Amino acid sequence: KEGNVPWNKASWKNAYFAGLIDGEGYISIQGNAPDKTRYQRIVVRTSMVTKISLEEGQNIWGGWIYERNRPQQTPYFEWVIQHGQAEKFLKDISPYLKEKKKQTELALRLRFLQTRKRTVNNHISEEELIQRKILEKDLKALHLNKGKKNQIPS
C-alpha cells in the first residue's frame, strides 16, 4: 500500500528482535559505582534456550552472550547489550515495539543526557543527576507494574 515502508532484510530483523524484546527482553538503567546516578548505563538483555538468534543479533548490534545454568533446569543463553550498542539497537527496533515502547523512550532519554556536550568543565550538574534518577525510577516503575496496564505511569 502507498506509504508503507518496504519490507527489506534489515526491517525484518528489526521487527523480529523487537518481538523478542517485547516478549522476553529486559531494558534497564544500571549504576556501577557508589553514586549509582553518576555512572549509569542502559542495558538490554534477553534470553533463549538456543543461541542461534542471539548470535545473529550479536553480529548486527554487538554485546555479549553468556551461557546460564540453573540447578535442575535447562541451560539457557543470555544476550546483553550496553551503552552505545544498546542505544543503536533500541533505535533500530523502536518502530516495531509494542510492549516496551515507553521503556525504550526512557532508556534513550538517559543515553541522550549522557552523550550531549556539557558546557562547564564536562561535569554533570545536580539538575541533570536528578533528571537521571527520575528516569531510572520511572523505568523501574514500569517493571513493577508489568501486566497492570491501567497503572503504568505516562
pLDDT tens sequence across 46-55: 999 999 999 9
Q: For 26-75, how does the pLDDT look when each residue is reduced to its tens digit (9 = 90+)?
A: 998 887 665 555 677 889 999 999 999 999 999 999 999 999 998 888 89
Rounded to whole angstroms, how far apart are CA atoms 141 and 84?
24
Q: Which of the four pLDDT bands, split at 50, 70 and 90, describes residue 108?
A: very high
* Residue keyed to cell 546516578: 37
Proportion of the chain above pLDDT 90, given as a percent = 42
CB 85, CB 63: distance < 8 Å = yes
> What are residue 71's phi and psi, to 5 degrees?
-55, 135
pTM of the model: 0.76
Q: Span 88-108, mean pLDDT?
A: 93
**Per-residue model confidence (pLDDT) at position 38:** 63
State the pLDDT at residue 150.
Answer: 44
What is the model's pLDDT at position 94? 93
Contact call for residues 67 and 75 (beta carbons, < 8 A): yes
Q: What is the mean pLDDT of the chain?
A: 81
Q: Characterize the bridge pairing of strands 64-68 and 25-31.
A: unpaired
- Burial track 59-78 (b if 16+ CB lie within 10 A, e otherwise): ebbbbeeeeeeeeeeeebbb
Q: Which residue has the higher pLDDT, 79 or 113?
A: 79
pLDDT for residue 135: 85
Q: Lowest mean pLDDT: which of 37-41, 91-95, 98-102?
A: 37-41
Q: Confidence band (pLDDT; 50, 70, 90) for 118?
A: low
Higher pLDDT, 86 or 149: 86
The 40-48 sheet, strands edge to edge: 25-31, 40-48, 76-82, 64-68
Number of C-beta neighbours around residue 122 at 10 A: 7
